[in-house]
A and B are shown apart, each in its own frame.
Chain A
Amino acid sequence: MTPVIEVRDLYYSYEDGAQALSGINLTVGTGETVALLGANGSGKTTLLLHLNGLLTGRGTVLIGGVPLTPSSAQRLRAKVGVVFQDSDDQLFLPTVLEDVAFGPLNQGHPPAEALRRARAALLSTGLAGIDDRAPYHLSAGEKRRVALAGVLAMEPDILILDEPTTYLDPPAQRNLARLLLALPQPKLIATHDVRFAAAVAHRAVFLAAGKIAAQGTVEDLAKQYDWDWASFSPRP
Chain B
Amino acid sequence: MRHHRIAGWSLLDSPLHRRDARAKLLATLLFLLALALAPQSSALAAVPFALVLLAALFFARLPLLPLLLRSASVLPFSIVFALIEWASGHGPHGGALLAKSYVSALAVLLLAASTPMPSLLHAMESLGVPRAFVLIAQSLFRYLFVIAEVAQRMRLASLCRGGTSPLRPSAGFRASAGSLAVLFARSQQRAHGIHMAMLSRGFHGSLPLAVRPRFRPSDAGFLAAACALGAALYLSVTLR
Residues of chain A lying within 8 A (CB to CB) of residue B193: 84, 86, 89
Residues of A contacting B7 with CB < 8 Å? Answer: 134
Q: Are B204 and A97 in contact (CB under 8 A)?
A: no
Q: CA–CA, A151 to B211, complex, Å?
A: 19
Tell me the A38-76 residues at the B interface (CB within 8 Å). 49, 52, 54, 74
Residues of A contacting B202 in the complex (Cβ-Cβ under 8 angstroms): 74, 77-78, 103, 106-107, 154
Q: Which of B91-99, B140-148, B223-231 lies at the interface with chain A?
A: B140-148
Residues of B close to A204: CB separation below 8 A: none
Q: Is residue B210 contacting chain A, with contact meaning CB distance below 8 A?
A: yes
Shortest distance in angstroms between B20's beta carbon and chain A's nearest beta carbon? 15
Interface of B is mostly: helix
Query: Could you tell me the distance between the alpha carbons of A10 and B138 in the complex, rounded to whole angstroms?
Result: 38
Could you say which residues of chain A place their CB within 8 Å of the CB of B145?
136
Q: Does B203 contact A (CB under 8 A)?
A: yes
Query: Chain B: residues with CB nearer than 8 A to chain A?
Result: 7, 11, 116-118, 121, 138-139, 141-143, 145-146, 190, 193-194, 196-204, 207-212
What does the 1/0 interface line of A21-51 toward B look like (CB < 8 Å)? 0000000000000000000000000000100
A98 CA / B119 CA spacing, docked (Å): 12
The residue on B at minimum CB distance from A118 is: B210
Residues of chain A at interface, number, CB under 8 A:
36
Q: Which of B11, B197, B203, B211 contacts A106 (CB 8 A)?
A: B203
Given contacts A95-B118, A107-B202, contact A90 B197 (CB under 8 A): yes
Q: Does A126 contact B (CB under 8 A)?
A: no
* Shortest Cβ distance from B8 into A: residue: A137
Contact A88/B190 with A49-B196, A103-B202 known, Cβ cut-off 8 Å: yes
Q: Does A150 contact B (CB under 8 A)?
A: yes
26 residue pairs bridging A and B, Cβ less than 8 Å apart: A52-B200, A54-B196, A54-B199, A77-B199, A77-B200, A82-B200, A84-B193, A84-B197, A88-B190, A89-B197, A92-B142, A92-B198, A94-B117, A94-B142, A97-B210, A102-B198, A102-B201, A102-B207, A103-B201, A111-B209, A115-B211, A132-B11, A134-B7, A136-B142, A136-B146, A150-B201
The distance in angstroms between the C-alpha atoms of A54 and B117, with both chains bound, is 32
Contact across chains for B204 and A74 when beta carbons are under 8 A apart = yes
State whether A89 touches B142 (Cβ < 8 A): no
Q: How far is B228's CA from A182's CA once the two chains are assembled, in angstroms?
A: 59
1/0 per residue, CB under 8 A from B, across A93-124: the answer is 11101100111011100010011001000000
